[in-house]
Structure 1
Amino acid sequence: MSRVCELTGKGPTTGNKVSHANNKTRRRFLPNLNDVTLISDVLGQSFKLRVSAAGLRSVDHRGGLDAFLAKAKDVELSSKALKIKKAIEKAQAAA
């Protein structure tokens, strides 16, 4: 399972671990991923996603999963999230 947020596309970054003696060795900074269940108001359905803590705050800030996906760029979203976005757009167009 890859360590990438399904909504924001945030993945591992690299940097240096610096010891007390100022020795530098490469290390990875992993995103804080959580398995969450988000509910779509338009579809009336819940979806299990692997989202970073920052991504979860962004979803709350924008007013829910539907509003977040409406503004999100397709490049950042995972294939699963992209399918949800297309289903929401289709349901809104029909209503």
Structure 2
Amino acid sequence: MSRICELTNRRKAVGNKVSHSNRKTKRTFCLNLHKVTLYSHILNKKFRLRIAARTLRTIDYKGDLDAFLLNTRTIKLSEKAQKIKRELKKTLAKNAG
């Protein structure tokens, strides 16, 4: 299983470990991934996702999964998240008119 956030598509980052003598060696910054179940109020569905702690904090800040997906640009989301967002928009359009 790869270490990728299923909502934001973030991957491990690469950088330098800098010693006291200022020598630089390559290192990786891994994501803090968690398996969570998020509920969509609009779709009345649960989604089991493996997301980064940073993404989970953002979802908490925005309010819920629906608000996060609707207020995030589509290009920043993964394919799975884009599919959920399309379902949300379709359901909102159906209920509105």
* One-letter code aligned to 1:79: E
Q: Comparing both structures, which one devotes a greater share of its residues to helix?
A: 2
Give TM-score, length-normalised by structure 1.
Answer: 0.87
Match for residue 45 of structure 1?
Answer: 45
Unaligned stretches of 5+ in structure 1? none
| Rounded Cα–Cα distance in structure 1 between residues aligned with 2:36 and 2:19 | 36
| Rounded Cα–Cα distance in structure 2 between residues aligned with 1:29 and 1:37 | 25
Tell me which stretches of 4 or more aligned residues in structure 1 moved more than 6 Å: none
1:23 offset after TM fit, Å? 3.7
1:7 offset after TM fit, Å? 2.1
| Rounded Cα–Cα distance in structure 1 between residues aligned with 2:5 and 2:76 | 9
Q: Cα RMSD between the aligned structures?
A: 1.5
Unaligned stretches of 5+ in structure 2? none
Count matched residues: 95
Give TM-score, length-normalised by structure 2.
Answer: 0.86
Match for residue 17 of structure 2?
Answer: 17
Q: Quick check: 13-22 or 46-55, which moved more? A: 13-22
Q: Quick check: 16-25 or 81-90, which moved more? A: 16-25
